[in-house]
Chain A
Amino acid sequence: MIKRDLVVVGAGPAGMAAAISAYKAGVRDILLLEREQFLGGVLNQCIHTGFGIEYFKEVLTGPEYAGRFIKELKNLPEINLSLRSFVIKLNCDKVLTFLKPGQMEQVKAKAIIMATGCREKTREMVHIAGSRPSGIFSAGLAQKLINIEGVLPGREVVIVGSGDIGLIMARRFTLEGAQVKAIIEIKDRTSGLLRNVIQCVKDYDLPLLFNHKIKRIYGNQRVKKVSLAKVDKNYNEIKDSEFFIDCDTVLISTGLIPENELIEMADIKIKSEDDLNKTSLPGVFVCGNSYKVYDLVDSATKDSQEAGTMAAEYIRSLNA
């Protein structure tokens, strides 16, 4: 079994920031495990601008923001990078099991930082009734399909939820020549940033419907249409307000969930928000979107740097 002082799981902005700050705080034996082929996490697919305004006081794209940390990391040979390394297990002895093509390895760490990001809520979690054809995507998956894979998931799109990813994807689809037929929000305001409402919706004159909910999805093989209805203040459907929109695609953009299955499986609990990055097992920390969902990467970065320092302190206390 390999032994390391610190293992960081996930090399998105959170994991990178944590690893770098642990290094700066004196840790020299660091392993950074990332399941993808690239560093940068979800930022790689966020080719829009709006990153780094707080942290760098500059307007950057996702890849540019990630690039700054990647550059810094590459200059620190003491931080060992292992790509295509998928962590499948964590136990309370701080042993991690990970897979690489051709290998299954275990590593025991003095301290661990989990920075595994988040996943999107699905259509199933928000219980949209109707059929189950192709053409239903989470907004982030659609973003990956367009920006990374270079394909167009749909041509006539209805977006459910007005969070930032939904708004950004409304613009993205429009730029790709698809028609955004509606963005539906059950509340009376968006859950996304004001700048996204302006830059992604208003500037393109897209229909953003507040106090509306999606009722049902139709179509056997591919999405054919959806039915919508108006809701009152308590989100109850207003009678006789149902109407239909023809479309071939439904994007679900109803929120993110921290991805913490590894910690859960080890029976480790994440502490409350006042106990930033801490878990019930001393020496195991969680940061970034796997700790809580951050709207802005800048704040995720700052909090994750704290995680790095905490891990360094913890390791020092063991050696003392």
Chain B
Amino acid sequence: MYDIGIIGGGVVGTAIARGLSRYKLNIALFEKEEELAFGVSKSNSGIIHPGTQNSPTSLKGKLCLAGNRLIRKISKELGVDYKEVGELIVAFNQDELAKLNKLKRQAEILGVRGLKIVSPGWLKDNEPNLNSQAIAALYAPTAGIISPYRLAYDLAESALSNGVEFYTSTKVESIIKHGKDYFEVGTNKGVYKTKFLINAAGLFSDEVANLLGINDFSIKPRKGQEFILDKKKEYLANHLIFPLPTKISKGILIIKTSDGNPMIGPTAETARDKYDLSTSDQGLAKVFDSARRLIPSIKEEDTIAYFSGLRPVAGDDFIIRHEDKVGGLITVAGIQSPGLTAAPAIAILVCNLLKKNGLSLKKKLKFTSTRKKTTNLFALKPDQAKKLIKKEIGYGDIVCRCELVSAKEIRDSIRRGGRTMDGIKFRTRAGAGRCHGGFCTTRIMKILAKDLDKPLLEITKKGPGSEIIKGIRNND
């Protein structure tokens, strides 16, 4: 019997797992995909928002601000790279400037610090590639960037080291509530019992809620297409650059990413279904047109990758509540943007909701808050790298030519939970560079097969059904 069952291993589920792992509790997390963070959390903009774009009275706004402050500490504890690069919301005319001032006042009411309106002169000095027609911008120094999947993986690893049990490839298919006492969670891998249950199932949180007769919200996926540019273009922008937000989205932005590649997007459009991660020619045109309004020198041929993400939208705000109808069930749904930013604050809110509804929270004597930072060879100083290579042969064995990822780093990422080509890519960046795996695919497949003791035929891109190869020659 578990005290807590968490459904969903995205950034929200893993943040909750880690948050709760400081207490004396038996916790299980169920994730239907083969790896964590394969849902919404793998395809987003990776921005730690300062809180400039949400209404000060919304739950989103409050949790965004709180999350923004928490991330600084958490990223240090977990050894995840977090860079506070700051953001600019740009105005091109007096009308927009007026809106900018309004945005500033709103954000100040919410509690965002350090905001200022900057002049064209400031912009010219600090953001030289920005469209020179900008007349002002709202500068928010507390905006930052992080790798969303690495944050989720490292939250999970921290939770794991503090006793949380993770069940991947485990889809919750049925849930029965037994009296006041416990839930019986039926999955493809067996039945688990738990006293409390947290629904953090992202796009599918409505379907999970339905299993317990909760039908008052539904998730409408809203698609965002994003286009990643070559690292060589890192110089294009020094800050996150936004246009003025519209009613439904923050608009199409210039995003700095934690790996150095500029990214542009996202669109905001209705998706066909919850699996529709396609990109379109129209999306491409729209994103490049809009991005060029901000930075005119952006070129389509610098694109090295693109993807779509689906925002799990359930109305305007997040839905985070205890379900009084089904005691012990906490719903965490509609976690659209800024859900990545808010995740650590959502975890605290969920803790409080659990406490209020009868869970006794006793701190463990020993909670390990820190985690050894994952080694990234090329982020090290040359003499450090040299020493490491001497100590561990595998560091000198480069597998991915574009991102310079060594065999040792790939093996480490498998030891830490990497099971698929995408999982390895998210963790190490191997295959995420300009040649898109043309060079390293064969080698990574072989390392995965060897270390997981699986035949090559079973190596997948992102779980069952996405096997890379179809046969062994002369042998099928």
**For residue B402, which residues in chain A have a CB less than 8 angstroms away from its CB?**
261
Known: A120-B438, A124-B436, A129-B278. A151 touches B471 (CB 8 A): yes
Q: Does B304 contact A (CB under 8 A)?
A: yes
Q: Does A103 contact B (CB under 8 A)?
A: yes
**For residue B269, which residues in chain A have a CB less than 8 angstroms away from its CB?**
none
Q: Does B360 contact A (CB under 8 A)?
A: no
Contact B390 A103 (CB under 8 A): yes
Q: Does A13 contact B (CB under 8 A)?
A: no
1/0 per position for B457-476, CB-CB distance to A under 8 A? Answer: 10011111111111111101
Q: Which residues of B (296-323) have their CB < 8 Å from a CB of A? A: 300-301, 303-307
> Once A and B bind, how many residue pairs between them come within 8 Å at the CB atom?
136
Of all chain B residues, the one with the shortest Cβ separation from A218 is B278
Contact A122 B438 (CB under 8 A): yes
Q: Does B251 contact A (CB under 8 A)?
A: no
* CA of A101 to CA of B439, assembled, Å: 18
**For residue B457, which residues in chain A have a CB less than 8 angstroms away from its CB?**
151
Q: Does B151 contact A (CB under 8 A)?
A: no
Q: Does A153 contact B (CB under 8 A)?
A: yes
Q: Does A316 contact B (CB under 8 A)?
A: no
* CA of A247 to CA of B278, assembled, Å: 17
What's the minimum C-beta distance from A133 to chain B, rounded to whole angstroms?
A: 6
**For residue A97, which residues in chain B have a CB less than 8 angstroms away from its CB?**
382
Q: Which residues of A (139-174) have their CB < 8 Å from a CB of B? A: 140-141, 144-146, 148-155
Contact B398 A35 (CB under 8 A): yes
* CA of A300 to CA of B251, assembled, Å: 49
Q: Which residues of B (194-212) have their CB < 8 Å from a CB of A? A: none
Contact B281 A152 (CB under 8 A): no
How many chain B residues touch A (Cβ–Cβ < 8 Å)? 58
* CA of A149 to CA of B457, assembled, Å: 12
Q: Does B122 contact A (CB under 8 A)?
A: no
Contact A132 B438 (CB under 8 A): no
Of all chain B residues, the one with the shortest Cβ separation from A156 is B470
* CA of A149 to CA of B389, assembled, Å: 28
**For residue A88, which residues in chain B have a CB less than 8 angstroms away from its CB?**
398, 404
Contact B397 A134 (CB under 8 A): no
Q: Does A77 contact B (CB under 8 A)?
A: no
Among B303, B307, B390, B473: residue with most chain A CB under 10 A: B473
Main secondary structure of the interface of B (DSSP, over half): mixed
Q: Which of B278, B396, B436, B476 contacts A131 (CB 8 A)?
A: B278
1/0 per position for A238-273, CB-CB distance to B under 8 A? Answer: 000000000011000000000001001000000000
Contact B390 A102 (CB under 8 A): yes
Contact A124 B456 (CB under 8 A): no
Known: A104-B389, A124-B305, A134-B462. A146 touches B473 (CB 8 A): yes
Contact A222 B396 (CB under 8 A): no
* CA of A35 to CA of B398, assembled, Å: 9
**For residue B284, which residues in chain A have a CB less than 8 angstroms away from its CB?**
127, 129
* CA of A43 to CA of B468, assembled, Å: 24
Q: Does B86 contact A (CB under 8 A)?
A: no
**For residue A124, which residues in chain B have a CB less than 8 angstroms away from its CB?**
303-306, 436
Contact B462 A264 (CB under 8 A): no
Q: Does B26 contact A (CB under 8 A)?
A: no
Q: Does A4 contact B (CB under 8 A)?
A: no
Contact B468 A153 (CB under 8 A): yes
Contact A221 B469 (CB under 8 A): no
**For residue A152, which residues in chain B have a CB less than 8 angstroms away from its CB?**
469-473, 476
* CA of A274 to CA of B406, assembled, Å: 39
**For residue A216, which residues in chain B have a CB less than 8 angstroms away from its CB?**
278, 280
Known: A102-B390, A104-B386, A123-B436. A133 touches B466 (CB 8 A): yes
User: Besides A120-B435, A122-B436, 8 other CB < 8 A contacts?
Assistant: A102-B393, A103-B390, A119-B439, A125-B301, A140-B438, A152-B471, A153-B469, A220-B465
**Interface pairs (17), CB distance under 8 Å:** A35-B398, A103-B389, A103-B390, A104-B386, A125-B303, A129-B278, A134-B461, A134-B466, A134-B468, A145-B442, A149-B456, A152-B471, A152-B476, A153-B468, A154-B470, A218-B278, A220-B465
List residues of A whose CB falls within 8 A of some B CB.
Answer: 35, 84, 86, 88, 97, 99-104, 119-120, 122-125, 127, 129-134, 138, 140-141, 144-146, 148-155, 176, 216, 218, 220-222, 248-249, 261, 264
List residues of B whose CB falls within 8 A of some A CB.
Answer: 232, 275, 277-281, 283-284, 300-301, 303-307, 382, 385-386, 389-390, 393-394, 396-398, 401-402, 404, 406, 421, 434-439, 441-442, 446, 456-457, 460-474, 476
5 closest cross-chain pairs (CB), A and B: A221-B465, A134-B461, A152-B471, A221-B466, A134-B466
